[in-house]
């Protein structure tokens, strides 16, 4: 295991608690000195980013299991420990988080003028919760961070959001909480179940992976976990909080919501729901795939009809996250890797789109597509960035979106042609709504007087968008750099799921179990 520390503090703990330290320090800054608050937050988040970059280099591509792991007793009598670590999957998400936080601080620079101090404190607090959620390998620790993420996001939407912010904030909170409390019951059940089986009280996930839960119980437990994560993703029937939350949130809130928070749902499936209850997950393939496909197509169609830019992008998220779910539930190398890659690239490209919308909103104070038109002539630099990010969202080859989507479809076709075919229509629909939107906003004549004198991007905004474009191209042109990191982890994950599934079915009484094993091994091709 690679050891690495900053100021003598193990790296992951440092990454988790450094933003919190920053937030506490900010408490003591005079609230009128907004420039100091902003710069301090920027320095904190930049330092956090720089501290997280070495993770990428020090991370061993070939080592199995968790790296940079730390373990300390928290409450040994109950088997709760402070156990954190990352593998190739969470590594990339942690980096995405630290990167997007910097972007968010920069993009809030001028947009937030009210309660500046509280805003940045909330943001740093959110960063702590997000990184904690990604690193936690103890179910209680995970749950604590998971719930902790809710509060700052709730405040971000509710205090700095749009006109309908209170409704959106409460809806966001209640939806997520309703899902997660069911998960907590399942966690507790699993905890006592594992104790009955092995005589050990533990919330350690890696330990709990070993539990062999009977099929009938797996369905319930998987259901509870899956509901909680599906709400966060969000998957089709429980997605309704997302458009409201996105529309009302401030730009930075939307970026972080789309970029990181939604990924917590898909990440939860990979880290917890599926490996803990693999047989149930495999039996749920039809259900989850169909919901994913509905999400892809439904999200795309609804996007098309949205008059509001932010709402349009929010629904496009439903569609994009549908791909991720489809990839994960293809249960093969391409699908899962594509799903993870899509998680990252959705963070970049949709985050970028929200930034774009935020920038135009700051100038015009409207997000209605009908208020725009011909902006490309007035703001040429803006147009270039907007175009690139739009194309990345459509998954044009050469951009980041293409790699993930292509792999997902490859994986989906391999596991089930019907889902693959249906999902492919989403690609076309995606191009339709994005390009149509782009055309209406950017091209044609400038019809609205107010749009004639819009200022083009300033240096700060160019810097922000350049970072995004840099990653769009890097991830599109040289994906190997990222796949190298996740190869081992994904392989390990798939073989774990496969072995546990076979094991669980063998234990089932009667021939049904054995017959299903045979059927599963032919159905789901788990090797590359």
Site residues (CB under 8 A) for another protein?
75, 77-78, 115, 118, 140, 143-144, 147-148, 150-151, 154-155, 158-159, 165-166, 169-170, 173-174, 177-178, 181-182, 184-185, 188-189, 191-192
Tell the smallest beta-carbon distance from residue 190 to another protein (Å).
Answer: 10
Q: Which is nearer to another protein, 75 or 478 (CB)?
A: 75
Q: Which is nearer to another protein, 24 or 305 (CB)?
A: 24
Render the burial of 423-460: b for 16+ CB within 10 Å, e for the rest: beebbebbbebbeebbebbbeeebeeeebeeeeebeee
Q: Which is nearer to another protein, 38 or 165 (CB)?
A: 165
Tell the smallest beta-carbon distance from residue 173 to another protein (Å).
Answer: 6
Q: Which is nearer to another protein, 182 or 477 (CB)?
A: 182
Q: Which is nearer to another protein, 180 or 400 (CB)?
A: 180
Neighbours of 159 (CB within 10 A): 18
How far, in whole angstroms, is CA 135 from its chain's centroid? Answer: 14
Helices (H), 11-86: 11-27, 34-58
> What's 352-384 look like in SS3?
HHHHHHHHHHHHHCCCEHHHCCCHHHHCHHHHH
The answer to whether residues 390 and 435 touch, using CB atoms and an 8 Å cutoff, is yes
Tokens 């609205």 locate to 448
How far, in whole angstroms, is CA 199 from its chain's centroid? Answer: 36
The answer to whether residues 2 and 58 touch, using CB atoms and an 8 Å cutoff, is yes
Q: Which is nearer to another protein, 204 or 390 (CB)?
A: 204
Task: Characterize the bridge pairing of strands 5-6 and 9-10.
Answer: antiparallel
Q: Which is nearer to another protein, 147 or 508 (CB)?
A: 147
Tell the smallest beta-carbon distance from residue 148 to another protein (Å).
Answer: 6
Tell the smallest beta-carbon distance from residue 318 to another protein (Å).
Answer: 23
Tell the smallest beta-carbon distance from residue 154 to another protein (Å).
Answer: 7
DSSP annotation of 411: H
Q: Does residue 7 come out as left (phi exceeding 0), alpha (psi in the -120 to 50 range) or beta? A: left
Work out the angle at residue 77's Cα, subtended by the Cα atoms of residues 73 and 83, and round it to the nearest 5 degrees. 30
Neighbours of 162 (CB within 10 A): 15
Q: Which is nearer to another protein, 280 or 340 (CB)?
A: 280
Q: Which is nearer to another protein, 154 or 323 (CB)?
A: 154
Q: Which token pair is 209? A: 């992976």
Q: Which token pair is 390? A: 């739009």
Work out the angle at residue 16's Cα, subtended by the Cα atoms of residues 37 and 160, and round it to the nearest 5 degrees. 45
Q: Which token pair is 44? A: 């904190």
Tell the smallest beta-carbon distance from residue 147 to another protein (Å).
Answer: 5
Tell the smallest beta-carbon distance from residue 185 to another protein (Å).
Answer: 5
Tokens 């369905």 locate to 219
Q: Which of 89, 96, 157, 102 is nearest to 131 (CA)?
A: 96
Q: Which token pair is 239? A: 């997605």
Tell the smallest beta-carbon distance from residue 329 to another protein (Å).
Answer: 26
Tell the smallest beta-carbon distance from residue 326 to another protein (Å).
Answer: 30
Q: Which is nearer to another protein, 10 or 223 (CB)?
A: 223
Q: Which is nearer to another protein, 139 or 309 (CB)?
A: 139
Cα–Cα distance measured from residue 164 to residue 388, given in angstroms and rounded to the nearest whole number: 31
Cα–Cα distance measured from residue 260 to residue 3, given in angstroms and rounded to the nearest whole number: 26
Q: Which is nearer to another protein, 59 or 172 (CB)?
A: 172
Tell the smallest beta-carbon distance from residue 22 to another protein (Å).
Answer: 18
Tell the smallest beta-carbon distance from residue 309 to another protein (Å).
Answer: 24
Tell the smallest beta-carbon distance from residue 18 to another protein (Å).
Answer: 18
The H or E element that residue 516 is part of is: helix 511-523
Cα–Cα distance measured from residue 336 to residue 261, given in angstroms and rounded to the nearest whole number: 19
Work out the angle at residue 134's Cα, subtended by the Cα atoms of residues 254 and 216, and round it to the nearest 5 degrees. 105
């Amino acid at each position: 295991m690679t050891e690495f520390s900053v100021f003598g503090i193990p790296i992951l703990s440092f990454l988790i608690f450094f933003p919190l330290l920053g937030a506490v320090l900010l408490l003591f800054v005079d609230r009128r000195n907004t420039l100091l608050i902003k710069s301090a937050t920027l320095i904190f988040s930049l330092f956090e980013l720089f501290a997280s970059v070495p993770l990428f280099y020090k991370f061993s591509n070939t080592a199995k299991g968790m790296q940079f792991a730390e373990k300390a007793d928290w409450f040994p009598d109950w088997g709760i420990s402070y156990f954190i670590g990352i593998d190739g999957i969470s590594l990339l998400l942690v980096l995405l988080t630290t990167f997007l936080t910097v972007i968010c601080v920069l993009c809030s620079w001028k947009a937030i003028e009210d309660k500046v101090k509280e805003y940045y404190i909330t943001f740093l607090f959110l960063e702590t919760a997000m990184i904690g959620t990604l690193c936690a390998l103890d179910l209680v620790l995970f749950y604590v961070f998971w719930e902790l993420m809710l509060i700052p996001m709730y405040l971000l939407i509710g205090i700095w959001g749009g006109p309908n912010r209170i409704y959106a904030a409460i809806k966001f909170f209640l939806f997520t909480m309703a899902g997660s409390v069911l998960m907590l019951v399942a966690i507790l059940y699993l905890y006592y179940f594992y104790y009955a089986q092995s005589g050990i009280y533990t919330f350690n996930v890696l330990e709990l992976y070993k539990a062999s839960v009977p099929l009938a119980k797996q369905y319930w437990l998987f259901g509870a976990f899956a509901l909680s994560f599906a709400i966060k993703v969000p998957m089709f029937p429980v997605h309704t909080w997302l458009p409201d939350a996105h529309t009302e949130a401030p730009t930075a809130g939307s970026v972080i919501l789309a970029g990181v928070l939604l990924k917590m749902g898909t990440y939860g499936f990979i880290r917890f729901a599926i490996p803990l209850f693999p047989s149930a997950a495999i039996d749920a393939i039809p259900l989850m795939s169909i919901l994913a496909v509905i999400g892809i197509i439904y999200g795309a169609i609804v996007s098309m009809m949205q008059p509001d830019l932010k709402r349009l992008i929010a629904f496009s998220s439903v569609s994009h996250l549908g791909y991720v779910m489809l990839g994960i539930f293809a249960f093969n190398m391409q699908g899962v890797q594509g799903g993870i890659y899509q998680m990252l690239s959705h963070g970049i490209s949709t985050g970028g789109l929200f930034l774009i919308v935020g920038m135009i909103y700051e100038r015009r104070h409207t997000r209605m597509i009908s208020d725009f038109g011909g902006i490309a002539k007035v703001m040429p630099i803006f147009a270039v960035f907007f175009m690139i990010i739009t194309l990345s969202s459509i998954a044009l080859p050469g951009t980041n979106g293409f790699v993930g989507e292509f792999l997902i479809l490859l994986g989906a076709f391999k596991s089930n042609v019907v889902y693959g075919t249906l999902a492919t229509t989403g690609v076309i629909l995606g191009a339709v709504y994005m390009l149509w939107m782009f055309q209406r906003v950017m091209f044609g004549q400038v019809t609205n007087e107010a749009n004639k004198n819009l200022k083009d991007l300033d240096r700060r905004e160019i810097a922000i968008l350049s970072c995004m474009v840099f990653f769009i191209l890097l991830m599109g042109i040289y994906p190997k750099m990222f796949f190298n990191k996740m190869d081992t982890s994904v392989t390990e994950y798939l073989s774990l799921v496969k072995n546990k599934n076979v094991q669980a079915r063998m234990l089932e009484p009667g021939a049904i179990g054995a017959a299903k094993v045979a059927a599963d091994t032919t159905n789901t091709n788990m090797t590359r």
